[in-house]
Amino acid sequence: MVLGVSGGIAAYKACELLRLLTESGHDVTVVPTAAALRFVGAPTWAALSGKPVSTEVWDDVHEVPHVRIGQSADLVVVAPATADLVAKAAHGLADDLLTNTLLTARCPVVLAPAMHTEMWEHAATQANVATLRARGVLVLEPAEGRLTGADSGKGRLPEAAEIFDVCLDVLVRGIAAEDLAGRQVVVSAGGTREYLDPVRFLGNRSSGRQGYALARAAASRGAEVTLVAANTTLPEPAGVKVVHVETTEELRTEVLAAAGSADAVVMAAAPADFRPTSVSAAKIKKADDGSAPSIELAQNPDILHELSHRRSREGQVVVGFAAETGDDTGTVLDLARAKLARKGCDLLVVNDVSGGAVFGSADNEAVILAADGGTRDVPRGSKTQVAHAIWDEVATRLQD
Ligand code: CTP
């Protein structure tokens, strides 16, 4: 792999990306620009990658590095990509080792732009980004938030872990076809909390990873994505609108609002089924006599059921998840088929949790059951691979 680094303050975040790439076993050649070295020096890149680093085409000329590095790469990722680097890439300029590498690479290329909002929004940059995307380069949307100085806006480099996930996805699947372009999708993720008092809650172990992988995968396939996230601490997927919620009722409100015009809704969240009937305004104190309070619970609304039975749009595809264990009344798949019918959704992604935990793990395996009778086995793989299998099934069911 080639990690290109151009000259922006976010170059320091590329060190973390490099670490993630090398620690997961990838062979990474770092190609910084001369300007990048003003932010992070060559010894850092050399030490972290275990390879010499150069910026110019004039080093080791007998090895023809300006052609060889690009030709032999399986993936080139540039993070951060400055406005200048994006412009050079769009116009085919080749005045240093990185821009030569971009011209000679025939593998997938991922650019993670980072710059001030004005620069990102400038018509010149937007035209360059459009040119690159039309040529099949994956240009990530910058994240929103604090920029170099006290100002904030769109233009931050997405988190290293986020770019890392995109790179792994591209290595497995290549640059995804934009088969969800023009589609609006809603994904829920994480586990809701139901408060007993200001500091205590009933919650569950859902990490939100599968939902985040779904949001990222949909964005990479061109969809406009709203991610309703309950109590997650994961890096925000690039180019995705994230709405944070805590309780099942808040999740319901935000999912239903976003679902209004959506082509598909995927309920990957684990909403708490019950909530305390009352929330104490003050912290509940321990009683002197050693007794414990009883907590009366009320049932929460079933959002998936509601979405499925009151479709806000004709042809909207609704997807649910089910973590099942078999019992005396039936196998995992028997119970899941019954749940699919009860919930009324189009697809149910079934995780067999009899053997071990799915929660928090990077991997998953599933069976996707369809209301039209179909069954698809998704072999063990990353949550990103499972996410793409789900979107494949959704895509075939979307109407024009
Ligand atoms: N779900 C929901 N609203 C709830 C609870 C669950 O939308 N209040 C959705 C989850 O997001 C997931 C699916 O329903 O897509 C999970 O189903 P499961 O947790 O098995 O639902 P339960 O209603 O708890 O199942 P059962 O009917 O077996 O009790």
Whether residues 163 and 263 share a domain: the answer is: no
Whether residues 168 and 188 share a domain: the answer is: no
- Spatial separation of the C-alpha atoms in residues 24 and 168, rounded to whole Å: 10
Question: Ligand 1: which of 267, 308, 348 to mutate, most ligand atoms within 8 Å of CB?
Answer: 267
The pLDDT value recorded for residue 204 is: 93
- Residue 138 bridge partners (DSSP): 110
- Strand ranges (DSSP E) for the chain? 2-5, 29-32, 76-81, 109-113, 138-139, 143-146, 152-156, 184-190, 194-195, 201-202, 224-230, 241-245, 264-267, 274-276, 297-299, 317-324, 347-352, 363-370, 375-382
Whether residues 247 and 324 share a domain: the answer is: yes
Please report, for the domain that includes residue 164, its CATH number: 3.40.50.1950
Please report, for the domain that includes residue 392, its CATH number: 3.40.50.10300
Residues 187, 226 contacting (CB under 8 angstroms)? yes
Whether residues 76 and 29 share a domain: the answer is: yes
Residues 227, 215 contacting (CB under 8 angstroms)? yes
Q: Is 345 a pocket residue for ligand 1 (Cβ < 6 Å)?
A: no
- Choosing from 136, 154, 177, the residue where a domain stops is 177
Q: Is 201 a pocket residue for ligand 1 (Cβ < 6 Å)?
A: no
Mean pLDDT, each 10-residue run in order, the chain (400 residues): 97 98 97 98 97 89 87 97 98 97 97 97 98 94 84 91 91 86 97 97 94 94 96 90 97 97 97 96 94 96 97 94 90 94 97 70 85 93 90 93
- Choosing from 123, 142, 177, the residue where a domain stops is 177
Q: Give the Å distance between the CA of 162 and the centre of ligand 1.
A: 28
- Spatial separation of the C-alpha atoms in residues 324 and 327, rounded to whole Å: 9
Whether residues 144 and 222 share a domain: the answer is: no
- Spatial separation of the C-alpha atoms in residues 328 and 145, rounded to whole Å: 52
How far CA 204 is from CA of 192, 232, 234, 274, 364, in Å, comes to 7, 12, 16, 12, 18
The pLDDT value recorded for residue 360 is: 60
Does residue 204 have an active-site annotation?
yes
Domain with 306, as residue range(s), is: 184-397
Q: Give the Å distance between the CA of 355 and the centre of ligand 1.
A: 20
The active-site residue, picked from 100, 128, 204, 300, is: 204
Of ligand 1's listed atoms, the one at least distance from the Cα of 321 is: 15
Whether residues 195 and 86 share a domain: the answer is: no
Whether residues 90 and 238 share a domain: the answer is: no
The number of domains in the chain is 2
Edge to edge, what strands does the sheet with 29-32 contain?
Answer: 29-32, 2-5, 76-81, 109-113, 138-139
Q: Is 206 a pocket residue for ligand 1 (Cβ < 6 Å)?
A: no
- A 10 A CB-CB count for 375 gives 12
The structure's pTM equals 0.86
Q: Is 271 a pocket residue for ligand 1 (Cβ < 6 Å)?
A: yes
Of ligand 1's listed atoms, the one at least distance from the Cα of 273 is: 8
Question: Which residues, 6 or more positions from 331, have their beta carbon under 8 angstroms from its beta carbon?
Answer: none
Whether residues 237 and 360 share a domain: the answer is: yes
How far CA 267 is from CA of 69, 72, 158, in Å, comes to 43, 41, 25
Whether residues 125 and 246 share a domain: the answer is: no
Whether residues 266 and 366 share a domain: the answer is: yes
Whether residues 165 and 226 share a domain: the answer is: no
- A 10 A CB-CB count for 318 gives 26
Q: Is 321 a pocket residue for ligand 1 (Cβ < 6 Å)?
A: yes
Q: Which amino acid is at 166?
A: V
The pLDDT value recorded for residue 356 is: 61
Whether residues 160 and 188 share a domain: the answer is: no
Q: Is 273 a pocket residue for ligand 1 (Cβ < 6 Å)?
A: yes
- Choosing from 120, 145, 177, the residue where a domain stops is 177
The pLDDT value recorded for residue 357 is: 54
